[in-house]
Amino acid sequence: MDPDFDLVVLGAGSGGLAAAKRAARHGAKVAIVEGDRVGGTCVIRGCVPKKLLVYGARARHHLRDAPSYGISVGSVDSDISDLLQRVRAEVNRLNTLHINFLEKAGVELIRGWGRLTGPNSIGIASERDGPVERQLTATRVLIAVGGRPARPALPGIDHAWISDDMFELKTYPKSVVVAGAGFIACEFACILRGLGLSVTVVVRGERLLRGFDQELADAVLEGMRDSGIHVQFGVTIQSIQGEPGDLRVDLSDGLTIPCGGVLMATGRRPWLEGLGLECAGVRLEDGRIPVDPDQCTNVPHIYAVGDVTDRVNLTPVAIDEGRAFADTVYGGRPRRVNHDLVAMAVFSDPELASVGLSEEQACERFGRDGITVHRARFRSMERSLPADGSRCLLKLIVDQSSDRVVGCHMVGEHAAEIIQMAAIPLGMGATKADFDRTMALHPSVSEEFVTMG
């Protein structure tokens, strides 16, 4: 008996959607299984609604600066409840759009939670842990179910939020404690502070944004502290007491912080529970699904892309992995994703963006004497009249032996937009001389990248 589909995709997030639509375009009969809204973490409870909140906080900041430009706007107050409602409405609009895109692509959307029930069979349940109500068969299966926030086990954890919750709240309390040091912790701390809340960040280690260039992370920390965010290093939350809106956070150093809410932003994990991987013989490794460069698991007809593989957990990477899988398997155009040169941004305040090697990574690869570091640190023209705000930091890392620019980094306004373009010459192997030959666009922040001595 022929299988029901050429491809069944588990998970309608960024990677799954990209793979399903591309495979259908190549002529495959495709179904995608999703028990939640269509769009995945990025669209529903990640990149998109978070960036809208960033804009909301930024708008308040611009209005506060207005008198510096001769504009009188009176008091500046944020209606957080209204902002959150508008963000949710936009997410719902995008969810509908993605459903329509699937229909136009010829992909069948199957509502329910999918799990492997055999090497080529997928069971569908209306509840994630509920009984299987329908069975599908497929020649190939793609697992693209993503990840979810980790919720540490500690007393009172039920009183805490994870990042998913931040988009469903009706409003925010006046004071929040954020636990974590990564993307999500820094971004939400800056959003909440930008909306007028009192924010304390609790960090287990001794630095923010591990994995990024240390100097850039320090510049973000400086900007966060300048905005009034309290950051405490070397401590952890031991317990959370009280009632929602009136909480007490007990720290490992013996201090207690009163607050209205607690956000646990202490990392994400692949969402593997209930997938039935053992029924198909799919191997796990350190809580993730390992795959080869062609996205294939240890089972030749079962593939995985995105955060469930825990490689480079970014939306554009998942999309490219999904498309590469479809092009290779169904399009007759084999290609592999380059995970070595991926631009990244943290939408904190100030904003950080980076592509290539950090100074620390470059030193490890080429030696301290084998690299040259060029940097510029200044207050941008946009901050001249308000006469406040953090300074920009622009940084180039150059391999001395080849003159190639191996790292390009920035903290400051529009950093992500600028570094996106800088990723192109780095991917082409541009040298410092190539940067120097490029005429500056003046006055701009980014001109510093081509005028560094």
Q: What's the CA gap between 166 and 149, in Å, rounded? A: 12
Query: What 8-state DSSP symbol labels residue 312?
Result: S
- Reduced to 3 states (helix: H, G, I; strand: E, B; else coil), residue 79 is coil
Locus of tokens 């994703």: 337
Q: What's the CA gap between 325 and 22, in Å, rounded? A: 9
Q: Is the peptide bond before 316 cis (omega within 30 degrees of 0)?
A: no
CB 176 within 8 A of CB 192: yes
Q: What's the CA gap between 82 and 359, in Å, rounded? A: 43
**Cβ atoms within 10 Å, residue 100:** 11
Record the tokens describing residue 394, joined without a space.
């622009």
**Cβ atoms within 10 Å, residue 207:** 13
Nearest alpha-carbon partner for 415 in 391, 434, 439 = 391
Compute the CA torsion angle 362, 368, 371, 373 (nearest 10 deg): 90
Locus of tokens 């207050």: 379
User: Can you give the C-alpha Rg of the chain in angstroms?
Assistant: 24
φ, ψ (nearest 5 deg) of residue 336: -125, 150
Tell me the residue type at 278. E
Q: What's the CA gap between 279 and 276, in Å, rounded? A: 5
CB 142 within 8 A of CB 16: yes
List active site positions. Answer: 442
